[in-house]
Copies of this chain bind each other. A is one copy, B any other.
Amino acid sequence: MKVSKIRMGLVGGGEGAFIGVVHRMAAELDGLITLVCGAFSSSSDRSKRSGAEIYGLPADRCYGSFAEMIEQESQLAATERMDFVAVTTPNHVHYEVAKKALDAGFHVMCEKPLSFSVKEAQLLAQQVADSGQLFGLTHNYTGYPMIKEARELIRSGAIGTVRRISIEYIQGWLSTAEESTGENKQAEWRTDPSRSGAGGCIGDIGTHGENLAEYVTGQSVSALCADVSTFVKGRQLDDDVNVLLRFANGAKGVLSASQIAVGVENNLTLRVYGEMGGIEWQQMEPNTLIVRWPDRPYEVRRTGGTGLSSQAEDATRLPAGHPEGYLEAFALLYRNFAQAVQDRKNGSVQPSSAYDFPSVDDGLRGMKFIDAVVNSSSQGAVWVDLD
């Protein structure tokens, strides 16, 4: 028997934001979650306007601050109040919002990178561990069916021990001083160390790459050597990074992240080669997974195709050839998160690790990765360990 929908409160996502609406669409796609309230702006008026115009929310559920939202919602009936908070603000606010939400007993879904600093990340991880509450991190690229397929293939041992991992995440949208045009809020905060934290490009997109590589291969980066650059004059954070990687199992690799690759849209690519096979995947053609073998033609596995792993099938909503995209992958994280919340409601308490969505620990790991990259580079691009 179907129960009522999980209720979501959104922090961030007001006028000029991009990712707020994405969260709304992704969360609601599978019919399990409904947005019930939000703190869309630090001005109560603007929050109510955004709430109405963008999200169709009534004024009394649009708050002038996240603190107010948490406080007010806490006082609503259990059948009315939000079940979890989605944090979509710039990085420097993540911690504060998440902490307060957890304090008040709400579960949390948070944008990446987890926080402003490693310190904050550690505190959050501890709080989640202590409280036992649910915490998801929107490393959304893990939600693609073909990423599930790649992961299961590697996990099955079919390609043998992983040897070589290439990750690339390049874009071109910051190849000029977009942050100085006065018209691009996204560029402004992402290039501002007081809002983004220590990493620019490496924090914004590099961590997606690190997370995806570790998720798919099951291997973790043990050491790295990073050369971090800022090509656009006056910019305060990195906009181009190349990193040599060593993995715990002996695999080697390289991660490139750039936002000055002129004209490139959003090219996240993962390639993994083991002793007996390899996989190649590109985010801009997400429904295709190339699988290579030493002694026969390469295969092209496709979302919705026959003979895929059950994990890939579960992540698929449409028949083969009906392209699924970014929102659908994003929605998968919310679907799995909703399941976890629902299980709690049904009295079944399982840890986040029982579900397939990125966790606060992944977020902490990502923050350490950013830190290691920045440290490596600031010392002259030397090797640093990542525990």
Contact = CB atoms under 8 A, between A and B. Distances in A.
A235 interface: no
A5 interface: yes
A262 B275 contact: yes
A222 to B, nearest CB: 13
Nearest to A286: B323
A359 interface: no
- The A interface, classified by DSSP as helix, strand, loop or mixed, is loop
A195 interface: no
A197 interface: no
B297 A302 contact: yes
Interface string A121-139: 0000000000000000000
A212 to B, nearest CB: 15
A46 interface: no
A382 B271 CA distance: 25
A193 interface: no
A295 B291 CA distance: 16
Max chain B C-beta neighbours (<10 A), residue from A3, A305, A323: A323
Contact of A29 (B25, B168, B306, B320): B25
Interface in A321-362: 321-328
Contacts of A231: 163-164, 275
A281 interface: no
A172 interface: yes
Contact of A52 (B2, B53, B56, B294): B2
Given A24-B31, A307-B297, A326-B322, A262 B276 contact: yes
A284 interface: yes
A171 interface: yes
A286 B240 CA distance: 27
A327 B28 CA distance: 13
Given A2-B57, A172-B292, A297-B307, 17 more contacts: A2-B53, A163-B229, A164-B240, A175-B275, A225-B227, A231-B275, A261-B278, A264-B273, A265-B321, A266-B321, A266-B322, A294-B306, A296-B307, A297-B300, A297-B302, A299-B299, A325-B327
